[in-house]
Amino acid sequence: MSLTRRTGLVFLCTIAYLGWLAASRFVLVMNDEGIYLDGGLRLLRGEMPYRDFFTITGPGTFALIAASFRVFGTTILAARIPVVWDIGIITACLFWLAAKLSNSMTAALAAFIYVTFSTPVETAVVANHRWDSGAWAILAGTLIIVATEAASEAASKNSSAGTPSARFSGATGFGAGIAAGIAAWCTPPVALAVAALGACLVIYHATRRLFVMYASGVAVAFAAGAIWIIRTGALRAMLDSLLWSSSNYLGANRTWYGSVTDGYANLLRGTSAGEAANTILLLAFFTLPATLPLFSATWLWKRPSRTVVILLTLGFALILSTYPRWDLNHLTWVSAPFYALAAGLIARSSSKMVSVLRKPLAVIALVVAGACVAMSVQQRLHEAARVTSVGNVHGRPEDLDVLATVQARVKPSDTLFVFPYRPLLYFVTGAHNPTRYSFLQPGMFSDKEEAEALSELRAHPPRLVFYSYMSPEAYLRIWPASDRRRLQMTGIETFLRENYQETETLADFKLLEAGTRAAVITAAH
């Protein structure tokens, strides 16, 4: 079987496994996913990012999810199709690249480990702009390498520009530019990787001709997105959002490289020696996104090939694009190039120590990864299933009970405000949010955003509110660099306290209903 066919098989196996495991899974605790699901639904209804609803990311992910909703319906499954596709693309590219640097057996092991340790928990395979941009950027890098190989083959045969090899090389470079442009529209800082790939083409004399095709592809993707933004009147609002992110997001979301919530020491607290040893073994694999870039830098001392240089450049540019949130999650989304590079290093090493350890390490990795897959499959088999207004879903029975209650209490015709951070509830209810904010993060949002949201609430008080109390300590645990003076939005808290009554508690949030005064105002509008 050719490498192309094996790569296609890896892609199909990945999307089949993840599709079954998580494409229809309802995860109540997942907060960020709701931002993109609610935004995709609002876009489907004719609203625009920036202009009609607040967002701090690029518009690409909203467009992808809205397109999936339009084709497959507004379901959890439709929302997850893009992310399952993303991980399938990343894994297939990783396999192809690792096979080029080593061999197919090593590449298969690297791909299996990547999928296993990148998607071990129920909150992993969910809609996120970082999965989207990572997939398109890694696809762009892979296509660049394919194009450079074709160009080298054409040059070695002294082929003219009109030969099939030369035409294939140019078309692939153009496709790489399109993919890179889409990646930047999903996550604007990934433009660093777009520029880095272009620089790789320029520094090698043999690939400079490809730069024109690559840049043309980037320009087409950029122009298509820009025309859409300009024609819908969202350009000024988008620029304002980017400026807002540079001054607000960077400060509140700063984390240490490779960090995890609560710190690593907390993972070992209160465990026995045996449990601690198991935890440390698992951490050795789960922290690969943070350690593999350091290990992959060893290539710099080995006169790296052009393929390795492109991968190193792409990988480190993607890491830079995750700043200031360099936690383990964000590193996972951009780690695929380093899996391929590490696989190549280990397979090619002539060191006696590496030769001795190569097989034992592979066996340990397979055993640990296999155990993790077995646990994921076991969990999936024991999940409950329900028919809901957002499609047939499965998940923890207690989560599905909450979903059923939420959908029974809130109808699509209702007005609803979720405070401060549970945007998934907008999507599963389909209710109308009277504000332009799907979430409000104390410690990151300024007085201006709170005042704007409060003004919209006063002008159009929602009939229902889902409210969660989060202590300042809880915010700092997740966002340790938050502005400690802004960890409570007292204006909105006061408005809710004066105008709403608690009617029910669901999980860790409360359902509030408008009191007499607020109900009169709501009816008047």
Q: What's the mean pLDDT in 336-364?
A: 88
Contact 251, 70 (CB under 8 A): no
Calculate the alpha carbon distances from 355 to 87, 95, 326, 352 in Å: 31, 22, 33, 5
Strands of 317-463, DSSP E: 384-388, 391-395, 416-419
pLDDT tens digits, residue range 194-240? 999 999 999 988 888 899 999 999 999 999 999 999 999 999 999 99
CB proximity list for 523: less than 8 A, separation 6 or greater: none
Q: What's the mean pLDDT in 412-427?
A: 94
> What confidence score (pLDDT) does residue 275 get?
64
pLDDT tens digits, residue range 90-100? 999 999 999 99
Whether the predicted pLDDT of 43 surpasses 80:
yes
Q: Which amino acid is located at 205 in the chain?
A: H
CB proximity list for 85: less than 8 A, separation 6 or greater: 15, 135
Contact 435, 457 (CB under 8 A): yes
Backbone angles phi, psi at 506, to 5 degrees: -125, 120
Whether the predicted pLDDT of 411 surpasses 80:
yes
> What confidence score (pLDDT) does residue 374 get?
94
CB proximity list for 112: less than 8 A, separation 6 or greater: 366, 369
Contact 228, 182 (CB under 8 A): no
Give, as one character, the DSSP assignment of residue 287.
T
By DSSP bridging, strand 464-467 and strand 416-419 are parallel
In percent, how much of the chain has pLDDT > 70?
A: 94
> What confidence score (pLDDT) does residue 521 get?
43
Which range, 206-215, 307-316, 468-477, has the best average confidence (pLDDT)? 307-316
Q: What is the pTM of this model?
A: 0.93
Calculate the alpha carbon distances from 476 to 34, 138, 262, 329, 401 in Å: 21, 33, 10, 17, 30
Residue 262's H or E segment, with its range, is none
Least confident of 85-89, 114-118, 184-188, 260-264: 260-264
